[in-house]
Amino acid sequence: MSYASFFAVAAGLSLSACSPSSFLTEVQGEATVPASPAGTPTLLNAFPAISSFSALDFNENQDFKNRDVTKDEVSRVQVKSMTLKLLSPNDQGFDFLDSLEAVARAGNSESRFAARDGISGLGLNAPNPTLSLKADGSVDLRPYVAAPSMAIILRGTGRLPEREVRVQATVVLEVEGGLL
């Protein structure tokens, strides 16, 4: 091996050792959509809050800890997927929901990162259907993840279901940052 070839290989290895790493992390929570008063169709004017999404601190996230990465070392955060699974009752579909959007908030700043319209017409019927929102790949959530505290808020329109409905929300994030 010539000296120039050896130098090129060594330089390539040292550069790749300092390149940013990428990993996936997931945040999950549950919410309960209240039932409509008996016999009275009622508009859904606010989607219930998901308590585990209200004060996210990614320095406490297990995937960050496993990678030995702090939120200050993150260079980019992109949403890979956002889903909402209907947990109960198991004979309920998503026909009560027309639209849903997911928003990241930190302080007075917020950005919509996923949404779905026309949900009631998708045919997401029982048992336990899963709704996938369309993630906006151009939104970088790094400023929100790096903030002292971040919230994920769901906003929806539709009608209150006939019975109380419990849902589970899951957000999968691709995080770039730290060193390999």
Better-scored residue on pLDDT, 135 or 8: 135
Cβ distance 109 to 72 under 8 Å?
Answer: no
* pLDDT, tens only, 13-68: 444 444 458 999 999 999 999 999 887 889 998 899 998 999 999 999 999 999 99
For 57-98, the pLDDT digits (tens) are: 999 999 999 999 999 999 999 999 999 999 999 999 999 999
